[in-house]
């Protein structure tokens, strides 16, 4: 009976999730460039552990950043994870302070075995978001004011984002070595608008541009893991993964117009390309984890992407190489305690630091953050969990280059179902 209810829940969420998934609407000036603000990757267990996941594997979780981990799913079991998050951003530039927040669905992933040591997984996860709504009035005395044009106003607006729908498989090649691959469909739309409006309506034309980019295409992501027992219940796992470089096709539309005070419209420029190329560079990840089964796990990840090779219509030169370092820790006092719920809770901690891929005014953005989280058992003797995490990330730009500093607090909650299928229980 319990499996039947779980199946109904999964089917409903699977049908409804694509309709309700929406791109995050946190107002960020960094969303104006390239493919927008990159979303941190990983399940909420990974996010609580600093964004690690390349060398993590267990039978209760899906670490889609390394598809080789799917091979750890138990025979006759099913893993299903969906979650939503709340983000709050605080922007500072000098004495100016801006706040923005939003709550959205984040991910839906599920996995199940094909045979012993061989499983598949599928899901939808965010890649980037491009929401911003910024305006600026230039008046006499401001640095950008010109007596020739007089006062004017600038308006920047953007929306949309990119997501990945993936289908992957992972298998054990030997007792200690596993490999996996994801087929990932990148899709989404980014829209950007700009308006320059003069106060002097009679002598100047307003200027505006409108840009729309619809991306689509399939890429492959590879992974491998090697695991070994050190002694008793102690283990060591090493992992590598790579999302290969891919040139996608996109529908790209750009129009620039000028408008007089009497609403006369003149098109300055028009570009319409049904096959505009977009190059997303390869991402490489390496990780190692060490721990004691059912007690604790500590893990380190390193990732690198040469975003300087990226080719985004209208945004060349705004990206550079990135390197990021991540660390995570999980501790479980007593996973099978019969008397204390708190001892069965999974306690998580993490940190991350590195480069942001954006380069603005010849200055690359830096970012660093810390995270905490809990894995809360849904009931006694169950491997299902409610995963909760909180992350504080600081993005720092060069003040000399006129960049903002951005502090983002993200709080997420997900339900991670684990159950056995095709087993007839005598008692429920």
Query: 290-331, pLDDT tens digit by residue?
Result: 999 999 999 999 999 999 999 998 787 789 999 999 999 999
Provide the pLDDT for residue 264. 61
**Average pLDDT, stretch 285-293?**
97
**Residue 44 contacts by C-beta under 8 Å, 6 or more apart in sequence?**
83, 85, 106, 373, 387, 388, 389, 412, 413, 414
**pLDDT above 90 for 21:** no
3-state DSSP call for residue 44?
helix
Bridge partner list, 311:
279
**pLDDT above 70 for 88:** yes
Q: 238-281: per-residue pLDDT in tens?
A: 999 999 999 998 899 999 888 776 666 666 788 888 888 899 99
pTM above 0.85, yes or no: yes
Provide the pLDDT for residue 97. 83
> Exposed (0-12), middle (13-18) or buried (19+): which is 130, by Cβ within 10 Å?
buried
Provide the pLDDT for residue 14. 57
**Average pLDDT, stretch 222-250?**
95
CA distance 18 to 63: 21
Cβ-based neighbour number of residue 206 at 10 Å: 18
Nearest Cα to Cα of residue 64 among 130, 126, 129, 114: 126
Provide the pLDDT for residue 203. 65
**Residue 57 contacts by C-beta under 8 Å, 6 or more apart in sequence?**
63, 68, 69, 71, 72, 225, 227, 237
């Amino acid at each position: 009976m319990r499996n039947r209810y779980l199946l109904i829940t999964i089917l409903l969420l699977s049908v409804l999730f694509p309709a309700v998934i929406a791109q995050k609407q946190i107002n960020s000036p960094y969303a104006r460039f390239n493919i927008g603000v990159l979303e941190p990757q990983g399940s909420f267990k990974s996010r609580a552990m600093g964004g690690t996941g390349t060398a993590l594997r267990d039978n209760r979780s899906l670490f889609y950043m390394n598809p080789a981990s799917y091979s750890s799913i138990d025979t006759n079991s099913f893993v299903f994870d969906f979650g939503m998050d709340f983000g709050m951003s605080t922007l500072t530039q000098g004495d100016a302070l801006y706040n923005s927040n939003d709550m959205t669905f984040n991910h839906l992933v599920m996995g199940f075995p094909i045979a012993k040591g061989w499983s598949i997984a599928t899901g939808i996860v965010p890649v980037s978001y491009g929401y911003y709504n910024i305006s600026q009035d230039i008046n006499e005395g401001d640095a950008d004011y010109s007596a020739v044009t007089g006062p004017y106003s600038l308006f920047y607006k953007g929306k949309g984002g990119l997501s990945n729908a993936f289908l992957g498989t992972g298998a054990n090649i030997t007792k200690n070595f596993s490999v996996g691959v994801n087929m990932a469909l990148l899709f989404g739309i980014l829209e950007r608008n700009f308006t320059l409006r003069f106060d002097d309506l009679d002598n100047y034309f307003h200027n505006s541009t409108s840009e729309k980019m619809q991306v689509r295409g399939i890429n492959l992501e590879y992974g491998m893991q090697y695991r070994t027992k050190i002694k008793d219940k102690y283990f060591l796992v090493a992992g590598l993964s790579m999302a290969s470089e891919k040139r996608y096709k996109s529908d790209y539309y750009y129009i620039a117009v000028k408008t007089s005070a009497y609403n006369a419209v003149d098109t300055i420029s028009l570009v319409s390309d049904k096959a505009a190329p977009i190059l997303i560079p390869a991402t490489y990840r390496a990780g190692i984890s060490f721990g004691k089964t059912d007690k604790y796990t500590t893990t380190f990840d390193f990732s690198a992407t040469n975003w300087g090779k990226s080719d985004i219509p209208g945004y060349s030169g705004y990206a550079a190489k990135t390197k990021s370092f991540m660390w995570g820790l999980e501790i479980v006092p007593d996973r099978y305690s019969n008397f204390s719920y708190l001892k069965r809770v999974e306690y998580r901690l993490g940190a991350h630091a590195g480069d942001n891929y954006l380069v603005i005014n010849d200055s690359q953005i830096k970012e660093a953050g810390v995270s905490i989280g809990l894995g809360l058992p849904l009931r006694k003797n169950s491997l299902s969990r409610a995963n909760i995490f909180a992350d504080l990330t600081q993005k720092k730009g060069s003040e000399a280059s006129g960049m903002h500093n951005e502090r983002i607090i993200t709080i997420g909650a997900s339900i991670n179902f684990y159950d056995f299928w095709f087993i007839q229980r005598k008692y429920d």
